[in-house]
């Protein structure tokens, strides 16, 4: 009976043999999967010790990886700092002792700073007997204020392979200041507002960082108290604020900025409105006598009393003379010109009046002005009937011959003088080029000394001096490189396709945060050679 039952059990087990095989394969698979973790738990030392450390990362254990130096960054103080402010990084360092097969404090090792994956070898600290170290550094002016800077560290010992735990994040901020940009024309005082949308004054300011650059980033609002009210004015991409409004006699205005998460508040700055005081006209090369039936050429310069050489290109004038009237526009220097045909019915002293008709891009509403007389200027010119000496058509043949002889002598003298002046000009040009090439050697010294930004700025200084010499103009201290370039293009025919990109590169390097790489520097030098050739007509032989 027992033998029969045993046979039945064996027969039943044989039917489930394949099930046992599947279970065995499953168990073996689980063991193989867990085997590496088992070795790790057992701390098998089959290679150099590494990063398999406890939660605090201060007492690392060894495993099968290859790190033999362990750096733990514990804190950053402060975690939010302004450009130029000192910050200290704290940490702990341990190294593997191959003799005792254990971790020890990395006493005497030098730990250097890493900023956004960029090593700062000159910023470092030494590990003390407790394994601790600290590194102090200054927040650099070009560090981005719109994202957190990642602060890390590494060991200087080339024979050690380190792993660093807990990189710190530094919130960078910048100090700000407000610059008033007051290039406005003085305001005309109106008794009543001519129409609802009328504006006659523009207030402008610029938000700068105290590191010397203009703010360029997300728009921020500056508060403007314009005397009879206040408003918030938002910056454009270049950090500038402009506000146009109707000036009705306020004396001063105030710009201020309360700051935000990345920018400090700025000290409020005050400005004062300029009130129109009147005009004067310098008639330049205008003749003192006008002749009947002839065109009288008028060329004058409009001068704003008390306010000097402001941009007057938005001013248009009406010229009234001998019952004739013409309109002319001023250039940036206030110069205008016009022709008036003198009728035959006028003789003797006649008043010529120049009156402002458009101002700051808008029509002047004379009937609304408090004092209309301040927008006009008068001067008397003599009108004569032409004589034979004034009318070429009445010249005698003898007089024509005499004039021809005189003209021939004058032409000969002009040719001689032109030849002489040309030789002197060539000599002066060579002297100037030699002087410029001597200055270019100084740029190379600046570049080799690691002062590329100053070198690029000096390159602009050389170009502006060259342009001033060539065109006999004086660059105003208040003119930016961009303003001066616009003047050279508009008034003196310089090529904007060459000059504007050169100026843009100069401003990016000097006033922006653009890194000065060798490629960037070579591009600026290439652009300088181009504008140098266009200005002097000669290739630059000196290498920079």
- Asked whether residue 35 carries a pLDDT value surpassing 60, the answer given is no
Give the whole-angstrom CA distance, residue 240 versus residue 388: 62
Beta partners for residue 150, in sequence order: 169
Q: Per-residue confidence at 303, pLDDT binned at 50, 70, 90?
A: very high
Q: Is residue 62 part of a domain?
A: no
Q: Is residue 411 part of a domain?
A: yes
Q: What is the pTM of this model?
A: 0.54
Q: Is residue 168 part of a domain?
A: yes
Q: What is the CATH number of the domain that holds 457?
A: 1.20.120
For residues 230 and 340, state if they share a domain.
no
Q: Is residue 199 part of a domain?
A: yes
For residues 416 and 452, state if they share a domain.
yes
For residues 156 and 184, state if they share a domain.
no
For residues 376 and 430, state if they share a domain.
no
Q: Per-residue confidence at 364, pLDDT binned at 50, 70, 90?
A: very high
Q: What is the CATH number of the domain that holds 83?
A: 2.60.40.10
Q: Is residue 363 part of a domain?
A: yes
Among residues 375, 392, 409, which one ends one of the domains?
Answer: 392
Q: Pairing state of beta strands 118-126 and 110-115?
A: antiparallel
Least confident of 114-118, 248-252, 426-430, 511-515: 426-430
Taking the chain, what is the end-to-end CA distance rounded to the nearest angstrom?
A: 112
Among residues 272, 292, 307, which one ends one of the domains?
Answer: 272
For residues 426 and 525, state if they share a domain.
yes
Domain, as residue range, for 98:
69-173
pLDDT digit string (tens) for 131-149? 999 999 999 998 989 889 9
Q: How many CB atoms lie within 10 A of CB 142?
A: 11
CA 209 → CA 176, 205, 233, 246, 481, distances in Å? 4, 13, 18, 31, 19
Q: Is residue 53 part of a domain?
A: no
For residues 334 and 297, state if they share a domain.
yes
- Asked whether residue 5 carries a pLDDT value surpassing 50, the answer given is no
Q: Is residue 482 part of a domain?
A: yes
Give the whole-angstrom CA distance, residue 356 versus residue 253: 27
Query: Would you give the DSSP letter of residue 187?
Result: B
Average the pLDDT over 473-483 and give the result: 82
Task: Count the domains in the chain.
Answer: 5
For residues 73 and 191, state if they share a domain.
no
Which is more confidently placed, 184 or 60?
184
For residues 166 and 191, state if they share a domain.
no
Q: What is the CATH number of the domain that holds 260?
A: 2.60.40
For residues 166 and 181, state if they share a domain.
no
Length of the chain: 544
For residues 516 and 413, state if they share a domain.
yes
**Cα dihedral 38, 43, 48, 50 in deg (nearest 10):** 90
For residues 287 and 348, state if they share a domain.
yes
Tokens describing residue 72: 């733990």
Among residues 173, 208, 225, which one ends one of the domains?
Answer: 173
pLDDT digit string (tens) for 219-266? 999 999 999 999 999 999 889 999 998 998 999 999 999 999 899 999
Query: By CB neighbour count within 10 A (0-12 exposed, 13-18 middle, 19+ buried), where does 5 fall?
Result: exposed
For residues 435 and 413, state if they share a domain.
yes
Q: Quick check: 321 and 350 in contact, CB under 8 A?
A: yes
Cβ-Cβ contacts under 8 Å for 459 (sequence gap 6 or more): 443, 506, 524, 525, 528, 544
Q: Is residue 4 part of a domain?
A: no
- The pLDDT value recorded for residue 42 is 34
Give the whole-angstrom CA distance, residue 457 versus residue 463: 10
Sign of the dihedral defined by the CA atoms of residues 515, 520, 522, 525, in that order: negative
């Amino acid at each position: 009976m027992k033998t029969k039952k045993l046979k039945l059990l064996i027969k039943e087990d044989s039917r489930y043999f394949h099930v046992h095989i599947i279970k065995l394969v499953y168990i073996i698979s689980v063991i193989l999967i867990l085997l590496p973790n088992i070795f790790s738990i057992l701390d098998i030392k089959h290679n150099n010790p590494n990063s398999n450390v406890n939660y605090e990362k201060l007492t690392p254990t060894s495993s099968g990886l290859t790190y033999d130096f362990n750096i733990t960054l514990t804190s950053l103080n402060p975690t939010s700092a302004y450009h130029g402010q000192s910050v200290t990084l704290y940490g702990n360092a341990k190294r593997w002792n191959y003799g005792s097969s254990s971790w020890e404090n990395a006493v005497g090792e030098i730990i250097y700073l890493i900023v956004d994956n960029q090593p700062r070898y000159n910023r470092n600290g030494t590990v003390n007997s407790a394994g601790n170290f600290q590194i102090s550094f200054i927040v650099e002016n070009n560090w981005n204020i719109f994202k957190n800077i990642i602060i890390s560290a590494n060991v200087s010992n080339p024979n050690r392979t380190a792993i660093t735990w807990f990189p710190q994040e530094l919130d960078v901020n910048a100090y700000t200041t407000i610059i008033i940009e007051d290039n406005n024309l003085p305001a005309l005082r109106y008794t009543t507002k001519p129409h609802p949308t009328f504006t006659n004054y523009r207030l402008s300011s610029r938000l700068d960082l105290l590191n010397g650059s203009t703010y360029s980033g997300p728009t921020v609002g500056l508060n403007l108290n314009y005397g009879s009210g206040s408003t918030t004015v938002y910056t454009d991409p270049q950090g500038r604020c402009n506000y146009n409004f109707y000036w009705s006699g306020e004396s001063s205005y105030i710009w201020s900025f309360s700051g935000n998460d990345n920018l400090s508040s700025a000290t409020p700055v005050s400005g004062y409105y300029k009130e129109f005081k009147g005009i004067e006209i310098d008639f330049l090369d205008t003749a003192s006598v006008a002749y009947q039936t002839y065109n009288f050429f008028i060329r004058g310069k409009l001068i704003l009393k008390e306010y000097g050489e402001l941009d007057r290109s938005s001013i248009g004038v009406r010229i009234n003379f001998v019952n004739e009237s013409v309109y002319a526009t001023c250039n940036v220097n206030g110069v205008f010109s016009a022709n008036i045909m003198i009728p035959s019915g006028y003789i003797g002293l006649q008043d010529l009046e120049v009156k402002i008709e458009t101002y700051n891009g808008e029509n002047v509403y004379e009937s609304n002005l408090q004092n209309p007389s301040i927008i006009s200027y008068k001067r008397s010119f003599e009108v004569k009937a032409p004589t034979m000496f004034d009318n070429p058509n009445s010249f005698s043949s003898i007089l024509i011959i005499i004039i021809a002889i005189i003209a021939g002598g004058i032409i000969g003298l002009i040719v001689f003088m032109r030849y002489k002046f040309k030789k002197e000009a060539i000599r002066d040009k060579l002297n100037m080029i030699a002087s410029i090439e001597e200055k270019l050697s100084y740029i190379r010294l600046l570049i080799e000394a690691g002062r590329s930004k100053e070198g690029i700025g000096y390159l602009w200084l050389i170009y502006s001096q060259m342009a001033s010499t060539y065109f006999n103009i004086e660059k105003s201290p208040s003119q930016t490189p961009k303003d001066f370039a616009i003047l050279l293009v508009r008034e003196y025919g310089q090529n904007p396709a060459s000059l504007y990109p050169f100026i843009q590169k100069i401003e990016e390097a000097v006033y922006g945060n653009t890194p000065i790489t060798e490629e960037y520097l070579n591009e600026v030098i290439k652009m300088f050679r181009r504008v140098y050739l266009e200005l002097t007509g000669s290739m630059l032989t000196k290498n920079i």
